[in-house]
Amino acid sequence: MIAQLTLIERQYAIMISAAVAVCGALMILVGRDDAMGIHGALVFLAGILTIFRIGESYFAPAPSDERLAHYYDDPSKVAIVLAMIWAVVGLAVGDWVAWQLVEPDLTFGVAWSSFGRLRPVHTTSVIFGFGGNALIATSLYVLQRTSRARLPDQVSPWFVVYGYNLFCLLAVTGYMMGITQSKEYAEPEWYTDLWLVVVWVVYFLVYLRPLARRKEPHIYVSNWYYMAFILVVAILHIVNNLAVPVSLGHAKSYSAFSGVQDAMTQWWYGHNAVAFFLTAGFLGMMYYFLPMRAGRPIFSYRMSIISFWGITFFYMWAGSHHLHYTALPQWVQTLGMTFSLMLLIPSWASAGNVLLTLNGAWDKVRDDATLRFMMVAGVFYGLTTLEGSFMAIRSVNSLSHYTDWTIGHVHAGALGWVAMITFGSIYATVPWLWKREQMYSPKLVEAHFWLALAGTVIYVFAMWNSGIVQGLMWRTYNESGTLAFSFIDTLVAMHPYYIARAVGGLLFLIGGCVGAYNIWMTIKVPSAVTDLAADVPQPAVVGSGALRAAE
C-alpha cells in the first residue's frame, strides 16, 4: 500500500501524521486533568503509529507510472474491511444492549458497561462506523468508475479513511468514559467534532476533483446522492455542534442554542442525519450496484432525478415531527408533518425504481443472494418510509412516540434498508476489487441473507407489538378516570418481546460474522483465475437472463 505512494506523497503523509501527533501531544498537555488527556494519548499514538507504518516502506522503490492506468482502490479496500469490523462490533454491542433490556444486570457493574453508555456505542458503531466506512468505500469506487477519472492524489483519500475512523474511535471511547454532549447521533464533544469537520471537508474536495475531470458528460445519479450526503452532513454537523467549551483543557462544552431552539436544531440535524446519512448515501449505492449486479439499467432515470430533488428539499423541513406536542410552535409541527407526508412521493419513487428494475429478472433474484439483499433493501425502504410518513401524523405520533414502535421503525430502516443494501453492495464489490471470480463461498452469502432476513423480521415484529401494547397501556383508563396500568405493568408486558428482539438481533449478528469471515477468506485465498485484471466490474450481459459467475 505504502509502496504505491510516490516519494513526495510519503513525505506529505508523514507530515500530516506528525501534525496529528502534535495535536495529540497538545491535548495531553492541556487536558491532563480531564478525560480529554486520554483522548490526546490516543490521537498521539495514532499519529506516531502511522509515521512508523510509512517509515517501514519509506525507502521502497517508487511506483511505476503504470499505476495511473488504474483506478485507485486501496482506500476503498481498507474502508470495506474497517466497515465489517465496525459492523461486528456495533451489532454485538447492539445485541448486548438488547439483552440488558431483558436482564438489566447484564453489566460488569462498572460505569462503561451501563446501558446509557453502551447504547450510543451501538448507534455510533453501526451508523458511523459500519455505514460511514461503507459509504466512503463505495463512494470512491463509484465516483471513479462513473466519471472515468482516477482519484486526484494518493494521500487525501487515506486521510479521509483513517481520519474518519479516528473520529469514530474517539467518539466511542469517549462515551465509555462518560464524554457526551447529550445530543443523539451527535454525542461527541467539541474537539472530536472539529476533527470531523477537517476530515469531511477533505472528503468533499476528494469527491469534487475527479468529477471536475470526468470524461462522461452527464454526472451519473449515484454521484448526486453521494454529494448530497457529503455536503448536507457537513452543514448539519457544523450547525448542530456549535458550542463553547468550558475551557480548552476540558471535554465539556455548552451548546450555542438553548431551550426549544436547541431541541429544534437537534432534530433538524437528527432527521436529516436519517435523510442524508442513512438514506441519500445508500441510495447512491443502490443506484450503482443494483443495475450493475442485475445487468440492466435503472428502470427510470427520470424518476431517480425527481426522487433526488424531492428528498433533498423535503427532508430539510421534516425534522419537527420528532417534537410533536412539545413547546415547539404548533405550525412548525404541522409543517414537519406535512413535509413528512409529501416525502412519501420521492421515497417511493426510489423504492419503486428498485422493484421495477428487477421486474423481468426475478430468476436472477431467486438465484443470486447478493441481488436478493438489494431487493429486500428496496422493499424495506418502501416500508420504512411509508411507516415514517404515517408516524409523522400528529395523532398517530401521540401513540407511537416514546414507545418501541419508534425502535421498530428505526430498525426496519437500519437493518432492512441500510444494512441490507450495504451487505449487497459489499458482496458485489469485493470480488471486483480484489479481482476474484466470486466470493469465497456463495453458500455463506446465502446463509447470511437468510440470517439477516430472519433477524430483521423478528426484530421489527417484536418491536411493533411491544410498541403498540406499550402505547395502548399508557393511555388506558379505568372507570374512575385514572390510569389502568402502572409503569411496571407495561415493563412486564414488554418482557417477552424484548427476548424476541434480542434473539432476532443475535441472528443478525451471526449473519454479520459469517459475512465478515466470507469477505476475509475472499481476500486471503488467491483467485484461481488470473485474467480478471480488468478495472471495470463485469456486469451481467445487459438483457440476458444468464447468471454471472459470482453466485
Partner 1 sequence: MIVEHALLVGISKSFGLFYLIALSVAVVIYAMWPSNKKRFDDAAQSIFRDEAGPWR
Q: Which spans of this chain sit near ligand HEM (rule: CB under 6 A)?
A: 91, 94-95, 97-98, 101, 119, 122-123, 126-127, 131, 184, 270, 274, 278-279, 318, 321-322, 340, 343-344, 347, 384-385, 388-389, 391-392, 397, 400-401, 406-407, 409-411, 413-415, 417-419, 505, 508-509
Q: Is 213 in the site for partner 1 (CB under 8 A)?
A: yes
Interface stretch with partner 1, choices 245-253, 262-270, 301-309, 506-514 (CB under 8 A): 301-309
Radius of gyration of the chain (CA): 24
Contact 295, 541 (CB under 8 A): yes
Question: Which of these, 391, 394, 410, lies nearest to 344 by C-alpha position?
Answer: 391
Distance CA(413)–CA(420), nearest Å, equals: 10
Number of residues that bind partner 1 (CB under 8 A): 37
Closest to ligand HEM by CB, 35 vs 500, is 500
Return the SS3 of 184.
Answer: coil
Interaction mask 40-79, partner 1, x per CB under 8 A:
----------------------------xxxx--------
Closest to partner 1 by CB, 245 vs 539, is 539
Positive or negative torsion for Cα 191, 76, 523, 121? positive
Helix residue spans in 412-486 (DSSP H): 420-433, 442-474
Interaction mask 270-299, partner 1, x per CB under 8 A:
------------------x--xx----xx-
Query: Which of ligand HEM, partner 1, none interacts with 499 (beta carbon under 5 to 8 A by kind)?
Result: none
DSSP 34: S
- Shortest Cβ distance from residue 423 to ligand HEM (Å)? 10
Q: Is 313 in the site for partner 1 (CB under 8 A)?
A: yes
What are the φ/ψ torsions at residue 536 (nearest 5 degrees)? -95, 135
3-state SS, one letter per residue, for 142-169: HHHHHHCCCCCCCCHHHHHHHHHHHHHH
Cβ neighbours of 542 (radius 10 Å): 10
Give per-residue burial for 214-228: e unless 16+ CB within 10 Å, then b: beeeeebbbbbbbbb
540 sits in the region (left: phi over 0; alpha: psi -120 to 50; else beta) called: beta
In this structure, the strands spanning 243-245 and 253-255 are antiparallel
- Shortest Cβ distance from residue 315 to partner 1 (Å)? 12
Query: Which of partner 1, ligand HEM, none interacts with 319 (beta carbon under 5 to 8 A by kind)?
Result: none
Q: Of residues 120, 284, 310, 512, which one binds partner 1 by CB under 8 A?
A: 310
Helix residue spans in 151-300 (DSSP H): 156-177, 190-212, 221-240, 259-272, 281-294
Closest to ligand HEM by CB, 150 vs 501, is 501
Cβ neighbours of 29 (radius 10 Å): 11
Interaction mask 116-145, partner 1, x per CB under 8 A:
----------------------------xx
Tell me how far the alpha carbon of residue 153 is from its chain's centroid.
25
Cβ neighbours of 530 (radius 10 Å): 8
Closest to partner 1 by CB, 108 vs 331, is 331
Q: Of residues 32, 302, 443, 475, which one binds partner 1 by CB under 8 A?
A: 302
- Please report, for residues 29, 86, 420, 532, the alpha-carbon distance to residue 21 in angstroms, rounded to integers and kept in the order given: 12, 24, 38, 41
Query: Which of ligand HEM, partner 1, none interacts with 290 (beta carbon under 5 to 8 A by kind)?
Result: none
Q: Of residues 86, 128, 141, 220, which one binds partner 1 by CB under 8 A?
A: 220
Which residues have C-beta within 8 Å of that of residue 317, sequence separation ≥ 6?
335, 336, 339
Residue with grid cell 472515468, as numbered in its chain: 148
- Shortest Cβ distance from residue 198 to partner 1 (Å)? 27
Q: Of residues 114, 535, 547, 549, which one binds partner 1 by CB under 8 A?
A: 535
Q: Is 536 in the site for partner 1 (CB under 8 A)?
A: yes
Query: Which of partner 1, ligand HEM, none interacts with 80 (beta carbon under 5 to 8 A by kind)?
Result: none
Q: Is 309 in the site for partner 1 (CB under 8 A)?
A: yes
- Shortest Cβ distance from residue 474 to ligand HEM (Å)? 14
Closest to partner 1 by CB, 17 vs 333, is 333
- Shortest Cβ distance from residue 120 to ligand HEM (Å)? 9
Give the binding site for partner 1 (CB under 8 A): 68-71, 144-146, 148-150, 213, 215-216, 218, 220-221, 288, 291-292, 297-298, 301-303, 305-306, 309-310, 313, 329, 331, 335, 534-536, 539, 542
